[in-house]
Amino acid sequence: MSLTIPDLTAVRARHPEAIAEAAARRTRRPLIGGTGRLMIVAADHPARGALGVGDRALAMANRADLLRRLCTALSRPGVDGVLATADVLEDLLLLGALENKVVMGSMNRGGLAGAAFELDDRFTGHRAEDIARLRFDAGKLLLRIDYDDPGSLATLEAGARAVDAMAARELPVFVEPFITRRVGGRVRNDLSAEAVTRSIAIASGLGGTSAYTWLKLPVTHDPDAMGEVLETSTLPAVLLGGDVGGSPGDQAAAYERWRKALRLPTVQGLVAGRSLLYPAEGSVEEAVDTAVGLL
């Protein structure tokens, strides 16, 4: 990474048009490349106020450090692209790190971590028109459903309209569904086989067409149940990484869960963020290369 944070700030202050110019000249590539698999690094957590990794509450708060980690990850063989919000993607555009990469815009970040309105997850990030205008390649939306929280209905409706808007532009949209509940006031995702099955069924039916819909799914608590769970839909799926914990043992266990699930026929790849960018043990290069090797 040749530019520094002050460099990026100076460009943003004096030449904001440079972002659109960089997007216009970026060399694009197909969503699915020659390997037939998809490896995406995720960095859209900060915009939802989710800055923690393991026991480090503000691990993702240093933007220069995050950008260095992202540039390192994107430079590794087998990494296809990145998922992030506008601010992060535009920094990466200015750094020239998105050439020949799949660029996925994060669409709804309104469900701030820990907020009373967390499940009324409004679309405060990329819109379909933004993704098309910037010549990005796909979008992603988070769909958390709590049967006891009316805010989930607003998220469902907004998610359906986002699916429609992306399909109208023939742009893939990755839907990340969870059945959730509040425990001690905090939102918890239910990763039981039944809950993930139900979330897949709901997400697959969003919108007026599913032609451009992908699923972004967690591995269930029982990895051996994933085969039956994924029989719920014919939509292509990628696995999500998430925060796997703060110990090397947690990291190794996550790799093993991913390895098993990546063998399943509808699974096309992996989207992982904190577990690769801030590994519990070793370097970003080692973590990313290990994940790529699982594919």
Over residues 129-178, the pLDDT tens digits come to 999 999 999 999 999 999 999 999 999 999 999 999 999 999 999 999 99
% of the chain beyond a pLDDT of 90 = 88
pLDDT tens-digit series, residues 209-220: 999 999 999 999
Greater model confidence, 253 or 158: 158
What pLDDT was estimated at residue 254? 84
Distance CA 266, CA 69 (A): 30
> Contact 102/135 with Cβ under 8 angstroms?
no
Residue of 104, 271, 238 whose CA lies nearest to 171: 104
Residue of 84, 71, 91 whose CA lies nearest to 16: 91
% of the chain beyond a pLDDT of 70 = 97
Out of 33-37, 109-113, 189-193, least confident range: 33-37
User: What phi, psi does 104 have (nearest 5°)?
Assistant: -115, 125
Say which amino acid occupies 206.
L
H or E, element range at 249: helix 248-261
Token pair for 210: 């599913």
User: What phi, psi does 36 have (nearest 5°)?
Assistant: 75, 5
Token pair for 274: 């904190």
pLDDT band at 3 (very low <50, low <70, confident <90, very high): low
Greater model confidence, 153 or 244: 153
Does the pLDDT value for residue 245 go beyond 80? no
For the chain, what is the total number of helices (H) and then of strands (E)? Answer: 11, 9
Q: Which residues pair with 272 in a beta bridge?
A: 41
Q: Which domains does the chain have, with CATH numbers?
A: 35-294 (3.20.20.70)
Going from the C-alpha of 51 to that of each of 112, 118, 243, 284, 289, the distances in angstroms are 11, 15, 11, 18, 24
> Contact 207/228 with Cβ under 8 angstroms?
no
